[in-house]
Chains A and B, each alone.
Chain A
Amino acid sequence: MMQTAALALAVPCAAILLGGLLSGIDRRLTARLQSRQGPPLSQPFLDVIKLMAKERMVTNPWQAFSPVASLGAAAFALVFFALQGDLLVILFVHMVGGVFLVLGAMASPSPYSQTASQRELWQMLSCETLLFLIAGALYLTTGSFRLSELSALPEPLLYRLPLLFAAFFFALTVKMRKSPFDLAGCHHAHQELVRGVFTEYVGPYLGLLEIAHWLDIVLYLAICSLFWATSTPAMILLPLAAFLAVIMLDNVAARLTWRWMLGWGWGAAFVLSALNLSWLKG
């Protein structure tokens, strides 16, 4: 019991540190790819600390409600993951974060945030379906949705789920808000919708959402590590490789339209996953 409580406290803290660090690596690496020096690794933390100390300002009270709910859901999902819970429950809880992000963004009359909310819904649709398919694959290989069963597998899941891993990479790109799928709120400033769903979140609220975003990325990378859960170095290397690949892609790709994302990107990913699932069954 005590152990669980300690884990429930330690996991979100560790994940915040890790997520912020990853974000720092991302910014520095991107700067290097653009032949700039880039900010220090601690930059994301400084940004968030500054944001938390800024003035609160809302156009609709839901903008104050949503970030807390979003962050809470993200942290809770991670704790569940660390406790080796039911992957479906983890995904359901994780989904709540996205729901509230959109609700808060839609609560503002700003046309930028409204338009981006619609796009965010499409992005959620494409990510969530793929994650649930991964849960299905987990069930078909281990006979259970519990993550604790995974360690008993003799060989890495990746051998049996190569197509699903490709689909997961697509979901990771969408979730990390990286080109070519950064439609609803780019990680860099300046895009056609200002900052998309984040446009109307001010100061501390933006800070909370930024932390929630870090936690989401950590959860995705943790899910990525499930693909090679048989050896500890691979569990670290595989997500890291995926993360670096996403950043490289971000720097070489232009933004695509939502039609392309939903039609080709998600359509292909879904078909690949379905194929993979069907041969698992056989």
Chain B
Amino acid sequence: MSEAIPVVLLIVPFLAALACFVIRSSACRSFIVIATAAGLAVSSLLLQGPLAPDAGLRWAGIIDPVITGGDFLLLAIMFFLGCRYRNFLIIMLTASQLGLFAWLEFFVFAEDQGHALFAVDILSLVLVRVVCLVGGLICLHAIPYMQAHEQHQNLARSRQPQFFAVLLLFLGAMNGLVLTNNLAHFYFFFELTTLCSFLLIAHDRTEEAVGNALTALWMNGLGGLLLLLAIWGLYSQSAQLDMGGLVAATAGNPAALLPLALLVLAACTKSAQLPWQKWLLGAMVAPTPTSALLHSSTMVKAGVYLALRFAPAFAHTLLAQGLMLAGGFTFFAAAALAIGQRNAKKVLAYSTISNLGLIFACAGIGTPGAVAAGILLILFHAVSKGLLFLCVGTAEQQVHSRDIEVMRGLCAQMPFTGMIAVLGMLTIIVPPFGMLLGKWLVFEAGADHVVFYLMLVLGSSFTLLYWVRLAGTLLASGQTTGFKPEIKPFLTRFPLAALGCGAVMLGLAAPILYGRLLVPLTSLFPVGRAFSAGQAGMLTTAVGSFPLIVVFAVAALIGLLALSGVSKAMVGRKGTAYMSGANTRLPDHFVGPLNRPVRAVVENAYLVPLFGEERWTLWVNLAATGLLFLMLGGALWK
């Protein structure tokens, strides 16, 4: 039974995608998407690890050739895309991948026998549930979203079948990516997500969308090439493709460090780490479900997943140190760049890059506690950020802009979406919610490294700043008249509410999850500080403790008190803002010349000269490149 679930998780999305593509009826499509999302959610919850050591072997005879054939097909499609758009870089990258892959497949890889096809440990369990539950909710949200999206476009023929087909295909690819135990199969799914990402970004077919999709394609193509090189190197070291086996075999082997470094670089491109952030920022032109699914909660997690999976192999080497610094730098620099942004979606994008940097740094610190923190961050970030993307997308369809200043006072216009968005932001910056717990664990794990700690402190202060600013802007009382009341379909409200509840409540599960993560991780790492998982309701590391249950209870109490204060305040007299006494009937206007009302315009300080991306992107990229070279150098040192 348990062996069949990975296959279900893999096959069902592919079949559903095919069905979506073929059937053009909108009602059927909605039904397929809802059914697939529900099915995936249930099966991901049913999935239990660990599987038998020969899990899935009996299907190996079918799956192996299918995946190899799929690899060639994928590379051929990308090659074709490169030719069609005359993008030399893509042609070069895919051609070299094709050649290398063919050579590896036909001459290098021996017939692999006896290794499990699937491996389910706690890391892949967390990822699978993120993909299926968060991803499923995003797919549900996409149904009404895409209908509204196409209303503005006046298309002769709906392009939703393709969109949903790719969306579901992508879910299957992600499931395969996190469940597979074979590095060559991993490469296939890795490339599949790249192609899906291209198709989804280019969905609107505008010039900008296609251009940005091509950027994504070549950057991720580079990642694919690096991954393939890494696979070659790792295979030549230990003659196997079994991921668990590879980690064990390469740990402490200096010769394996170079391929591992290439692997980490491939992961960095996939997760849009500096200096490859451009494709993720460009991907924001896509419809919001794409951004939410691919570029915040799932696809970019593939990179950090790879790094965390292989973290034991390079723990406590110069490579790990370099990765920690590079990740820390991305965390800090992307957060700083987010301060200078007034495009809400770009703020989310930079924040995603920044948090992924933090997770990479966890892989670099390489203690069980740090890696566990990284896994927790993946989970909490996926929920909170997926929620925020959906909120911003919903808001964007109402206000027709992504500008933060246009969204000022959103909570007055769209109470439901606005308040959930504010809640989502609070779950990122305020204890006792998940993201902050994860960050706290990183603080505790990384305090030994002074430079990293400095970047961590700066980065988290910057993060606090831009989230509070954005939340406050949404809360501001702006225009209270002259807008359509918020009436949203159930499929828009349900994912928002579900993710909102998840973001608030998941933090409570952190101690249990942390304890369960630590046990298997401790056996994987050669050295690590002594620590205990602590008692129930308490998050404990070697150097500190977080009384989570107490904080949660007190936070709930304070929240209730504050809400009762609000209900008392609603009874009383409604005040007007202080405008030196020159108020008008409009809340944010004062009496100007000739007794005309003038709007008091206050905008946020974005400090563009200090934090603007135009000024800093080049320098930040140079610094990040330098750090990555430092990391590579660290790998070559021995």
> Residue B566 contacts which of A61, A95, A115 (CB distance < 8 angstroms)?
A61
Asked if B476 and A114 sit within 8 Å, CB to CB, the answer is yes
Asked if A129 and B605 sit within 8 Å, CB to CB, the answer is no
Between A118, A125, A128, the greatest number of chain B beta carbons within 10 A of the residue's beta carbon is seen for: A118
Q: How large is the interface on A (under 10, 10 to 19, 20 to 34, 35 or more residues)?
A: 35 or more
**Taking A106-B476, A109-B577, A194-B578 as contacts, is the C-beta distance between A121 and B468 under 8 angstroms?**
yes
A23 in contact (CB, < 8 A): no
A63 in contact (CB, < 8 A): yes
Interface string of A66-101 (1 = CB under 8 A from B): 111100110010000000011111001101100100
**How many Å lie between the Cα of A125 and that of B468 in the bound state?**
11
**Taking A57-B574, A108-B477, A140-B447 as contacts, is the C-beta distance between A125 and B579 under 8 angstroms?**
no
**Chain A: minimal CB distance from B117 (Å):** 43
Asked if A68 and B561 sit within 8 Å, CB to CB, the answer is yes
Interface string of B417-443 (1 = CB under 8 A from A): 000000000100111000010001001
Closest to A204 in B: B565
B4 in contact (CB, < 8 A): no
Asked if A86 and B545 sit within 8 Å, CB to CB, the answer is yes
Identify which of residues 112-163 in chain A touch chain B, using a CB-to-CB cut-off of 8 Å. 112-115, 117-118, 121, 124-125, 128-129, 132-133, 135-136, 139-140, 143-146
A281 in contact (CB, < 8 A): yes
Residues of A near B61 (CB, < 8 A) are none
**Taking A62-B475, A64-B562 as contacts, is the C-beta distance between A199 and B578 under 8 angstroms?**
yes
**How many Å lie between the Cα of A149 and that of B323 in the bound state?**
31
**Chain B: minimal CB distance from A147 (Å):** 10
Asked if A72 and B464 sit within 8 Å, CB to CB, the answer is no
Asked if A274 and B572 sit within 8 Å, CB to CB, the answer is no
Asked if B461 and A108 sit within 8 Å, CB to CB, the answer is no
A34 in contact (CB, < 8 A): no
**Chain B: minimal CB distance from A264 (Å):** 14
A35 in contact (CB, < 8 A): no
Identify which of residues 91-139 in chain B touch chain A, using a CB-to-CB cut-off of 8 Å. none
**Chain A: minimal CB distance from B419 (Å):** 10
Residues of A near B487 (CB, < 8 A) are none
Asked if A102 and B468 sit within 8 Å, CB to CB, the answer is yes
Asked if B457 and A103 sit within 8 Å, CB to CB, the answer is no
Stretch of B146-154, B350-358, B359-367, B546-554 with 4 or more beta carbons under 8 angstroms from chain A: B546-554
B570 in contact (CB, < 8 A): yes
**How many Å lie between the Cα of A136 and that of B455 in the bound state?**
12
**Chain A: minimal CB distance from B537 (Å):** 14
**How many Å lie between the Cα of A216 and that of B573 in the bound state?**
31
**How many Å lie between the Cα of A199 and that of B545 in the bound state?**
38
Asked if A146 and B543 sit within 8 Å, CB to CB, the answer is yes
Asked if B476 and A109 sit within 8 Å, CB to CB, the answer is yes
In the complex, the 5 A-B pairs of residues with the closest C-beta atoms, listed nearest first: A106-B472, A72-B558, A64-B569, A68-B562, A110-B577
Binding site for A on B (CB under 8 A): 426, 429-431, 436, 440, 443-444, 447, 450, 453-454, 457-458, 460-462, 464-465, 468-469, 471-473, 475-478, 543-547, 551, 554, 557-559, 561-563, 565-566, 568-570, 572-579, 587-588, 600, 602, 604-605
Known: A89-B431, A89-B546, A133-B454. 5 other contacts (CB 8 A): A56-B573, A61-B566, A125-B465, A133-B457, A146-B543
